[in-house]
């Protein structure tokens, strides 16, 4: 039996499967199995009222999980799925409190990764076809973008029957854009590779500025944090780790963690750099964030939370 079929069977039998996506690696369970989903919260030390994202393989499954799907949500799904975008919709009866964090909404995504889609399709043949999955790390810590990150971060907390699928390095490198689709117009709740302009161009609507009370992944003020202290926009000192675009020179005595040439490379390599810094037991990481809108804005969002505003 190949690894993907084995993983689908593991999900059906109630075990956990960590799997690659284009954003980061997820820690998955059958989204209809309360006991399995509860283990995700245990492994991650995740607050029980913090909702999970449900991963599907086909847009045709959307009505099973969501009600009152607005036209603009269908337009976004058609344009950007599979892809790094999560839609928040009013939940259907199959989406239980143990997935939604007790809210009347559910987050849905179709990932753009060959292994993730194959796993979801295999699981659809033998089970619910829906995988509830946050990032495969401890809550509030750095998201994993490789098999090795998952193994080092939570491997010891998984059982012998759980499984980690290796899908190489995640190509996007930061978590999905989250869009609230419960109102008359879309509202961005977490920035990502699907940008505000892309959302507005597809829907022909301006993003809502209304305050949202919906809890979503990554909404805490401190998140995505390595063990090292992250500080932004200062001159690195001897002994510091340093993350910046390649155009910035590395001062003497400073450990250069990555030198991305583009904003896309910055996003893809950021979490790996944090993991390297922790392996090296660095005490502080100085980051010069990229400027501009779109993906650079999403990177700055992650960095602000990793630095807790420092």
pLDDT per position as a tens digit, 219-268: 665 667 899 999 999 999 999 999 999 999 999 999 999 999 999 999 99
Give the pLDDT score at 221: 58
168 in the same domain as 278: no
Q: CA 52: distance to chain centroid?
A: 10
Whether residue 298 lies inside any domain: the answer is yes
Instruction: Output the CA angle 114-120-125, nearest 5 degrees.
Output: 125
Instruction: Please report, to the nearest 10 degrees, the dihedral formed by the alpha carbons of residues 69, 54, 220, 289 taken in order.
Output: -90
Give how far Cα 284 sits from Cα of 54, 77, 228, 240, Å: 35, 40, 5, 5
pLDDT value of residue 212? 86
Is residue 57 located within the same domain as residue 146? yes
Give pLDDT, residue 88.
98
Range of the domain at 276: 229-306
In a domain, 218, yes or no: no
- CB count within 10 Å of CB 33 equals 22
Tens of pLDDT, residues 5-21: 999 999 999 999 999 99
Cβ proximity of 23 and 175 under 8 Å: yes
The CATH number of residue 109's host domain is 3.90.870.10
Q: Express each pLDDT in 21-66 by its tens digit.
A: 999 999 999 999 999 999 999 999 999 999 999 999 999 999 999 9
* pTM exceeding the 0.85 threshold for the entire prediction: yes
For 147, phi then psi, to 5°, come to -55, -45
């Amino acid at each position: 039996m190949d690894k993907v079929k084995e993983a689908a069977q593991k999900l059906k039998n109630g075990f956990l499967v960590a799997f690659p996506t284009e954003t980061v690696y997820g820690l998955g369970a059958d989204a209809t199995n309360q006991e399995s989903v509860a283990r995700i919260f245990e492994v991650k030390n995740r607050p029980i009222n913090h909702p999970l994202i449900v991963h599907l393989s086909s847009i045709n499954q959307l009505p099973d999980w969501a009600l009152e799907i607005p036209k603009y949500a269908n337009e976004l799904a058609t344009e950007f799925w599979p892809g790094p975008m999560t839609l928040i919709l009013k939940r259907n009866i199959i989406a239980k409190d143990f997935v939604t964090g007790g809210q009347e909404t559910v987050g849905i995504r179709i990932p753009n990764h060959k292994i993730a889609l194959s796993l979801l399709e295999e699981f659809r043949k033998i089970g619910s076809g829906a995988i509830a999955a946050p990032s495969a790390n401890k809550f509030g810590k750095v998201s994993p973008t490789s098999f090795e990150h998952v193994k080092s971060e939570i491997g010891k907390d998984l059982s012998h029957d759980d499984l980690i699928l290796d899908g190489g390095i995640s190509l996007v490198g930061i978590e999905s854009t989250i869009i609230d689709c419960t109102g008359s117009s879309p509202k961005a709740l977490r920035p990502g590779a699907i940008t505000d302009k892309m959302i507005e161009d597809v829907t022909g609507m301006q993003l809502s500025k209304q305050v949202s009370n919906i809890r979503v992944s990554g909404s805490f003020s401190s998140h995505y944090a390595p063990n090292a202290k992250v500080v932004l926009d200062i001159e690195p000192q001897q002994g510091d780790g340093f993350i910046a675009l390649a155009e910035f020179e590395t001062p003497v005595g400073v450990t250069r963690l990555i030198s991305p040439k583009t904003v896309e490379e910055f996003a893809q390599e950021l979490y790996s750099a944090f993991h390297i810094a922790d392996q090296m037991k660095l005490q502080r990481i100085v980051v010069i964030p990229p400027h501009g809108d779109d993906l650079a804005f999403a990177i700055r969002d992650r960095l602000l939370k990793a630095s807790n505003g420092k």
